[in-house]
């Protein structure tokens, strides 16, 4: 099977996060047909392993692709269009999986490398807690010295034949914030007998958004306080998102949110509970790996665009927390459309570059 056939099969049969049962069965069968050792990981994922012909087999490189789709009704007119109503590969994960398959087949054919190569077909990138955390919770690389985890993501802002690489912090952590205020509601005219929950939530929102800075994005998108002109409600609520680019900044904002909540409680005499639903950690690329990847790409005739950090989140951050890692963007051209839309269709011509980039970089690190 070619990578493109593999990709089209997965595109035609998309499955939502952590429900990738048929996708998993298809991947296991395709790998076994190529004689590649593989097993189930993280529930609905697949872990493949290929040992090199020489070198220290305890030294490893891990290639990662995500495999989940999104709850979107596909509106593309292609013969391999989604056959599952309301589910669509609209983030390019079908392509990521297919390129990983292509790279693994190549390594299986040309085993002239040192160490051990792992391939992770990872479930559930799109929803918390993220399949990456589930993969790592199983410790599948225990006993191995992991020299690099590498992943790629299609990107319509880059042209076909280009890769975008960012040394260091690349993508943001992503947390959901919820604020719950409660106090004595009542007649708005009797100020002495009520706790001003509305002013309290408003004050908390202003304090929260004032935490925005060069290393943090904090936005509140919803406030609920359902009183009336003359009614102060007993409860008020607000929710938002928080993105940071490193762990210390994230912890610093958490502490400030807590301090602000205590200050608001004191000032208005209300109770204010802050609920933080922790999302993915930031994606931090190993700086040396990033620069080596730039050289490898250039050697392969792939155009390198050095990228700055972006406030998007990716569960690949979990790998970067634990191992030297590299996550880069693969150009698929503006014609591919916007990801997470019903008409997103990354150009398959980009796959050749993605496979070559991942293969060459893995080989470079394995044989080092």
Q: In this complex, which beta carbon is closest to Zn ion, that of residue 60 or of residue 132?
A: 132
Smallest distance, Å, CB 248 to Zn ion? 27
CA distance 217 to 211: 8
Alpha helices for the chain (secondary structure H):
3-12, 21-33, 93-109, 131-137, 197-209, 247-268, 287-299, 317-322, 351-366
Q: In this complex, which beta carbon is closest to Zn ion, that of residue 262 or of residue 340?
A: 340
Q: In this complex, which beta carbon is closest to Zn ion, that of residue 91 or of residue 297?
A: 91
Q: Which residue is nearest to Zn ion (CB)?
A: 91
- The token pair that represents 161 in the structure block: 């034949």
Q: In this complex, which beta carbon is closest to Zn ion, that of residue 65 or of residue 302?
A: 65
CA distance 269 to 275: 19
Q: Which stretch binds Zn ion (CB under 5 A): 85-93, 191-199, 215-223, 244-252?
A: 85-93
Smallest distance, Å, CB 230 to Zn ion? 46
Q: Which stretch binds Zn ion (CB under 5 A): 25-33, 84-92, 179-187, 276-284?
A: 84-92
CB atoms within 10 A of CB 1: 14
Backbone angles phi, psi at 161, to 5 degrees: 95, 0
Smallest distance, Å, CB 174 to Zn ion? 12
- For residue 187, the cross-strand partners are 231
CA distance 148 to 289: 8
Q: In this complex, which beta carbon is closest to Zn ion, that of residue 124 or of residue 167?
A: 124
- Residues in contact with Zn ion, total (CB under 5 A)? 1
Smallest distance, Å, CB 312 to Zn ion? 9
Q: In this complex, which beta carbon is closest to Zn ion, that of residue 174 or of residue 244?
A: 174
CA distance 131 to 126: 8
Count of all residues that appear for the chain in the document? 368
Backbone angles phi, psi at 213, to 5 degrees: -165, -175
Backbone angles phi, psi at 353, to 5 degrees: -70, -40
Smallest distance, Å, CB 70 to Zn ion? 7
Q: Which stretch binds Zn ion (CB under 5 A): 36-44, 83-91, 227-235, 283-291?
A: 83-91
Q: In this complex, which beta carbon is closest to Zn ion, that of residue 91 or of residue 120?
A: 91
Q: What is the DSSP string of 60-129?
A: EEEEEEE--BBS-------TT--SSTT-B--SSHHHHHHHHHHHHHHHHH----BSEEEEEEE---SSTT
Cα 254 to its chain centre, rounded Å, is 21
- The token pair that represents 333 in the structure block: 């051209």
Q: Which stretch binds Zn ion (CB under 5 A): 71-79, 87-95, 286-294, 357-365?
A: 87-95
Smallest distance, Å, CB 153 to Zn ion? 6
Smallest distance, Å, CB 115 to Zn ion? 28
Q: In this complex, which beta carbon is closest to Zn ion, that of residue 174 or of residue 208?
A: 174
Q: In this complex, which beta carbon is closest to Zn ion, that of residue 171 or of residue 365?
A: 171
- Whether 56 and 48 have beta carbons less than 8 Å apart is answered as no
Smallest distance, Å, CB 280 to Zn ion? 12
Tell me the per-residue interface mask from 89 to 118 with Zn ion, x by CB under 5 A, - otherwise: --x---------------------------
Tell me the per-residue interface mask from 32 to 71 with Zn ion, x by CB under 5 A, - otherwise: ----------------------------------------
- The token pair that represents 242 in the structure block: 């928080």
Smallest distance, Å, CB 299 to Zn ion? 27
Task: Report the chain's terminal Cα–Cα distance, integer Å.
Answer: 31
State the residues that interact with Zn ion by CB under 5 A.
Answer: 91
């Amino acid at each position: 099977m070619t990578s493109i056939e593999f990709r089209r099969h997965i595109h035609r049969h998309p499955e939502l996060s952590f429900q990738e049962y048929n996708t998993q069965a298809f991947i296991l069968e395709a790998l076994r047909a190529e004689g590649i050792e593989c097993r189930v990981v993280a529930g609905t994922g697949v872990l493949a392993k290929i040992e090199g012909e020489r070198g220290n087999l305890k030294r490893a490189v891990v290639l990662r692709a995500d495999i989940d789709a999104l709850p979107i009704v596909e509106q593309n007119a292609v013969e391999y269009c989604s056959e599952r109503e309301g589910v669509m590969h609209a983030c390019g994960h079908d392509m990521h999986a297919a390129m990983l398959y292509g790279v693994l087949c190549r390594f299986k054919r040309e085993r002239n490398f040192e160490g051990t190569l792992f391939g992770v077909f990872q479930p559930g990138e799109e929803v918390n807690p993220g399949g990456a955390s589930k993969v790592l919770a199983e410790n599948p690389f225990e006993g191995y010295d992991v020299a690099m985890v590498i992943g790629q993501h299609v990107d319509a802002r880059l042209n076909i034949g280009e890769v975008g690489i960012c040394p260091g912090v690349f993508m943001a952590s992503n947390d959901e914030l919820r604020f719950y205020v409660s106090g004595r509601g009542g007649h708005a005219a009797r100020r002495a007998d009520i706790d001003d929950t509305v002013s309290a939530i408003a004050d908390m929102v202003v304090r929260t958004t004032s935490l925005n800075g060069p290393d943090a994005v904090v936005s509140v998108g919803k406030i609920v306080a359902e009183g009336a002109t003359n009614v102060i409600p007993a409860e008020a609520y607000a929710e938002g998102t928080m993105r940071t680019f490193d762990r210390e900044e994230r912890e610093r904002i958490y502490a400030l949110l807590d301090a602000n909540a205590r200050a608001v409680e004191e000032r208005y005499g209300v109770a204010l509970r802050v609920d933080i639903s922790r999302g993915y950690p930031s994606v931090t690329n190993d700086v040396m790996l990033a620069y080596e990847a730039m050289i490898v790409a250039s050697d392969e005739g792939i155009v390198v665009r050095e990228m700055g950090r972006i406030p998007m989140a990716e569960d690949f951050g979990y790998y970067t927390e634990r191992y030297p890692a590299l996550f880069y963007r693969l150009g698929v051209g503006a014609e591919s459309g916007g990801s997470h839309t019903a008409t997103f269709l990354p150009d398959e011509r980009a796959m050749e570059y993605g496979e070559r980039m991942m293969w060459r970089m893995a080989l470079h690190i394995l044989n080092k």
